[in-house]
Amino acid sequence: MTTEPATDVGSGSSVERALATALTPRRERTRERLLDAAFTVFAHHGIRGASIEAVCEAAGFTRGAFYSNFSSKEELFLALAERAMRRQLASLESIGDELELDFVHDGVVDYEAIRTVLSVVITDPGDARQWALMRAELELLAMRDPAVGRPFLAQEEKLRAELGAAIRRILDSCGLRFTVDERTAVDLLLGVYESSARAAVVANPTPEDGDAAPDTAVLSRLIKLLMTPAD
């Protein structure tokens, strides 16, 4: 097990500031390993059933390393949710920047192409089961604990607004628009996906039961209702 050295770096001298800067990449790697470990541990055991020690053991660190990055399991849980959405947003932005997207041909909208592009904001199918379990755990925790619920709602509001803006920029560049307001469209798209994800896990509760990737057929139909050529 790797032990993170205890370091008390002040902000006074240039040497101390340089040392703090030099440690930043290492601390970031520690944080990412803790998040990766927590993703698996929480999905398997739930936030109540999983201990900080179990997360640390899975990551190969001590409790000291944990508490130098997170104050609690709840904070770690929220960080996992934000990291997942940030990665999805980065993928969506990358597609918008790197590809020449053309969803309209001779006045006909290629809705399947839109679905394919939007699929990048969906968790990697290989992690679909774990993320569906994680999402359910987080929502239950947020409903039961106001101290988690308030930051969870604020985080969701911010990230969904960013997601809506990213999708709108892609649609604008292709001569498309939402048929409803942006936030409603995002809520509907994510709601349908998350419902399909939960149903897939219920139908296939263990990896041995088969693929738990959500069925995107309903999502495809919803896209047809929510997107149309711009006037």
Class in CATH terms, 1-70: mainly alpha
Q: What are the domain boundaries of the chain?
A: 1-70, 72-229
C-alpha angle 73/76/78, rounded to 5°?
Answer: 115
Q: Per residue in 29-65, pLDDT tens?
A: 899 999 999 988 887 888 778 899 999 999 999 999 9
Tell me which residue of 102, 103, 93, 96 sits closest to 224, measured CA to CA: 103
Q: Per residue in 104-135, pLDDT tens?
A: 777 778 888 787 777 666 555 557 777 788 88
HSE-CB for 225 with a 13 A CA cutoff: 11
Q: What is the pLDDT of residue 231?
A: 73
Containing H/E element for 136?
Answer: helix 128-144
Q: What is the pLDDT of residue 212?
A: 67
Q: What is the pLDDT of residue 19?
A: 45
Containing H/E element for 105?
Answer: strand 104-105
Q: Cβ of 118: how many Cβ atoms within 10 Å?
A: 22
pTM: 0.72
Class in CATH terms, 72-229: mainly alpha
